[in-house]
Structure 1
Amino acid sequence: MSSKDRKDLPHPHDAQTEQTETAAEREARKQKESDNHQEALEETFPASDPVSPFIPAKAPKD
């Protein structure tokens, strides 16, 4: 497994190997990215603090 992200820029000392992905590989990669995104979204739900049960009082009339 590579330690680089596929979006990392190539290093000048890296071998220049052109790797193209097939349509099936691209679909599998996109599905994995989508699954990972969905899982991360579910793990962070709720994204904010819970709603406070505090109900502010009405402002007194002067």
Structure 2
Amino acid sequence: MVFDDGRRALMIYDGGDADAPSHVVDLDGDEADGVAELLHSRSLADRLSAVERRLAQLIGRRTA
């Protein structure tokens, strides 16, 4: 979870109450990136490369 103020947290639910986490683990930016990388099928570097390619395409269209 990324909060409006930039804080990040991993919320763990135990099934007792679907609206309230049983545990909340506060994460710094690097920890949050690490967890996200573990949960995604592609690495952070691969996702960043894809974003960079898409940005280059968008910039190319604007200048063309």
Q: TM-score, normalised by structure 1?
A: 0.39
Instruction: Tell me which protein shows more helix as a share of its residues.
Output: 2
Q: TM-score, normalised by structure 2?
A: 0.38
Instruction: Tell me which protein shows more strand as a share of its residues.
Output: 2
